[in-house]
Amino acid sequence: MSILVDAATKVIVQGMTGSEGSFHTKKMIESGTRVVAGVTPGKGGQTHEGIPVFDSVSEAMAATGANASVIFVPAAFAADAALEAIDAGIPLLVTITEGIPVRDMVKVNQALVRSRTRMIGPNCPGIITPGRCKIGIMPAEIHQAGTVGVLSRSGTLTYEAVDQLSRVGLGQSTCIGIGGDPIIGSPFTSLLPEFEADPQTEAVVLIGEIGGTAEEEAAAWIRDNMSKPVISFIAGATAPPGRRMGHAGAIISGGKGTAAEKKQVLRGAGIHVADSPAEIGQMVLHALGR
């Protein structure tokens, strides 16, 4: 078991014929992912890397039975691509693109509310169930199949945490980068229930950062609903207020969204919080009593 994706997931790549799309399509296939179609408007009927290309998501879905799509489309056109996939009724949409305007994301979010689509991202590394399915850009080789679920607002910091887990002998059930933007498709609170319900997952690592209230909302949900141990790290304890720390969503504004505040709320909800990013792996081992 795992959450959201497994060996049966059939994936469409929107923007597959671009350089990013091409590169990561190859990498995803190497990781065992069933990439069944590409979508590039105007290139329908061609094949790319041996995979059929369609003009639209709905055509690609109809022809291949795909149930997930990943977007590698430049920021200016990414919302349009996402809205197309939502309109086509794709069950899982992973938007990797960084730099999508917030106004566009407000619209995408509106479309998501009454749709059958769950969207991960944008501005994220994607989702991986090690050894079975990778939809995104993370290095598959640092992952191991196992029992720890990982949720994170970051990219490389997630790799760091996953690497620590693998080194202490803890594999991962599913790892999801939820994205570093202010508005995202799936906040922590929409994915935690999946891990709670997944029999394979024994513990969850939640990596947050400054800005917004996603960690506080997660803490409340965990306190009230979660039976499995949650281990957390919040990046940005040393970040100055009022500055955007790389991610569009990582900003302390009006004195709110600090790491100290988030850690306190998480600890109050019974979550194990690591002050040092180097302690994540060890802390999970400890929480699992190993």
Binding residues for other proteins, rule CB under 8 A, total: 63
Question: Least separation, in Å, of the C-beta of 273 and other proteins?
Answer: 13
Residues 196-235 that bind other proteins (CB under 8 A): 207, 209-210, 212-214, 217, 233, 235
Determine if residue 196 is left, alpha or beta; phi over 0 gives left, psi from -120 to 50 gives alpha, anything else beta: alpha
Residue labelled with tokens 């505040």? 261
- Residue of the chain from 71, 94, 105, 218 that contacts other proteins (CB under 8 A): 105
Closest CB to other proteins among residues 10, 256: 256
Closest CB to other proteins among residues 132, 247: 247
DSSP alpha helix (H) spans, the chain = 19-30, 57-64, 75-88, 102-113, 156-167, 188-197, 214-225, 259-268, 280-287
User: Measured between alpha carbons, how far is 121 from 98 in angstroms, rounded to an integer?
Assistant: 9
Dihedral pair phi/psi, residue 98, rounded to 5°: -105, 145
Binding mask 239-268 for other proteins (x = CB under 8 A): xx-xx-xxxxxx---xxx--x---------
Closest CB to other proteins among residues 59, 163: 163
User: Measured between alpha carbons, how far is 208 from 262 in angstroms, rounded to an integer?
Assistant: 9
Query: Quick one: which of 52, 117, 113, 53 has its CA closest to 84?
Result: 117
Residues 64-83 that bind other proteins (CB under 8 A): 75-76
CA distances from 158 to 43, 122, 142, 182, 267 (A): 35, 16, 11, 18, 21
Dihedral pair phi/psi, residue 209, rounded to 5°: -155, 175
Question: Least separation, in Å, of the C-beta of 19 and other proteins?
Answer: 11
Residues 145-184 that bind other proteins (CB under 8 A): 152-160, 163, 180, 182-183
Question: Least separation, in Å, of the C-beta of 174 and other proteins?
Answer: 18
Is 247 designated active site? yes
Closest CB to other proteins among residues 181, 198: 181
User: Measured between alpha carbons, how far is 193 from 110 in angstroms, rounded to an integer?
Assistant: 22
Tell me the catalytic residues. Answer: 247
Chain contacts with other proteins (rule: CB under 8 A)? 75-76, 99-107, 109-110, 125, 137-139, 141-142, 152-160, 163, 180, 182-183, 187, 207, 209-210, 212-214, 217, 233, 235-240, 242-243, 245-250, 254-256, 259, 275-278
